[in-house]
């Protein structure tokens, strides 16, 4: 397993991470035993970075991971946790809270659910519009000093916020959606990160299956599946968007790899400061994703891929309107 360093002050981690959200129903039903087996298979393959959020399945995801890692040496894995999303009993998002008091409260429950004594990278999932980022980062910094957190990360934040956060405490990485069909971070956010020595953990590298080569217009999304409400998967958009996957498939076929492997390899090739997170919830999809690590893309390959998928190729926003409004990163 290749390793990459998260930022100037962060840990060495596997060159690919496992995003665990889909194991708790975000993209339709998931089998518990298969999810745990997938986590174990990832660790056995040398994947060290496990990414979750305390609001994934209202705590279900953390408890699932806690079961999967129980009894393993603490240095066998790294836990990246997002927090702050507020959900009602029906699972609907009802706000965001990254106040200092809530930050410490959320962390306490996360440690209990995961059954560990510290979190490797702790991060607010969004910018709290009612709390200065300096106060949020200051609270996590206190938890670093107390030993409950090792490193601080950010998620979906723009350049100004990143600068302000880094002035309070070293930031090791920004988690942000980045894929062939989501290249906005390249404009101002990535230059800011590189200026400050902050790494990237890229999620959505397959755009929630859109460019995986496995989704079809007839697939549909079940109730509770994020894609049921995603603009890119709605009629009028999905048909055009799946043509992107078709164009990628033609390039992938010529290289003897899958569409998903090509899309993941493209992200990994865009900088050694970038660690792609793959949202595999089965061992089959995990093995396919890990195959991307064996793919080498030349400058000519990258140019051909980007010519086949121009930046404006995708139709529809990556989140519904209320989700887009919560993204500080969309402000650049």
pLDDT in tens, 206-241: 998 888 888 776 666 665 677 777 888 888 888 888
310-331: burial string, b at 16+ Cβ within 10 Å, e else: eeebbbbebbeeebeebbbbee
* Verdict on whether the full-model pTM lies above 0.85: yes
Q: Which of 27, 56, 83, 148 is catalytic?
A: 56
- pLDDT confidence of residue 217: 67
The CATH number given to whatever domain includes residue 80 is 3.20.20.100
Q: Which domain holds residue 15?
A: 3-331
Helices and strands, counts by H and E, the chain: 11, 12
CA angle centred on 301, ends 215 and 191, rounded to 5°:
90
Q: What is the pLDDT of residue 318?
A: 83
pLDDT bucket at 46, cuts 50 / 70 / 90: very high
Residue 29, judged by CB atoms within 10 A of its CB (0-12, 13-18, 19+), counts as: exposed
Question: Counting every residue, how long is the chain?
Answer: 332
User: How many separate domains does the chain show?
Assistant: 1
Is 83 an annotated catalytic residue?
no
pLDDT tens-place string over residues 233-291: 888 888 888 898 999 999 999 999 999 999 999 999 999 999 999 999 999 999 999 99
What letter does residue 142 receive in the DSSP assignment?
H
CB atoms within 10 A of CB 195: 12
Say yes or no to pLDDT of 320 above 90: no
Q: Say how many C-beta atoms besides its own lie within 10 A of residue 245's C-beta.
A: 24
Q: How much is the pLDDT for 252?
A: 96
């Amino acid at each position: 397993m290749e390793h990459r360093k998260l930022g100037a002050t962060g840990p060495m981690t596997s060159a690919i991470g496992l995003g665990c959200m889909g194991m708790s129903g975000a993209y339709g039903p998931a089998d518990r035993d298969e999810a745990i087996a997938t986590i174990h298979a990832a660790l056995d393959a040398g994947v060290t970075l496990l990414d979750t959020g305390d609001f994934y399945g209202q705590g279900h995801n953390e408890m699932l991971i806690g079961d999967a890692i129980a009894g393993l040496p603490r240095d066998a894995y790294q836990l990246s946790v997002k927090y702050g999303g507020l959900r009602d009993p029906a699972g609907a998002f009802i706000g965001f809270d990254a106040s200092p008091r809530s930050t410490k409260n959320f962390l306490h429950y996360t440690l209990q659910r995961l059954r560990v004594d510290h979190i490797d990278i702790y991060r607010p999932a969004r910018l709290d519009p009612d709390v200065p980022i300096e106060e949020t980062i200051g609270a996590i910094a206190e938890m670093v000093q107390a030993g409950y957190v090792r490193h601080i990360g950010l998620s979906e934040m723009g350049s100004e916020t990143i600068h302000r956060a880094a002035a309070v405490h070293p930031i090791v990485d920004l988690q942000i959606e980045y894929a062939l069909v989501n290249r906005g971070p390249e404009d101002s956010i990535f230059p800011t990160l590189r200026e400050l020595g902050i790494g990237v953990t890229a999620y959505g590298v397959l755009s929630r299956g859109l460019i995986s080569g496995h989704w079809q217009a007839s697939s549909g999304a079940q109730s509770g599946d994020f894609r049921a409400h995603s603009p890119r998967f709605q009629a009028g958009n999905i048909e055009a968007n799946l043509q992107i996957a078709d164009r990628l498939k033609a390039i992938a076929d010529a290289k003897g790899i899958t569409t998903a492997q090509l899309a993941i390899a493209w992200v990994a090739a865009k900088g050694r400061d970038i660690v792609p997170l793959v949202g595999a919830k089965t061992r089959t999809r995990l093995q396919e994703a890990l195959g991307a690590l064996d793919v080498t893309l030349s400058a000519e390959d990258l140019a051909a891929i980007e010519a086949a998928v121009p930046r404006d190729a995708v139709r529809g926003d990556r989140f519904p309107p209320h989700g887009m409004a919560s993204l500080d990163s969309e402000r650049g």
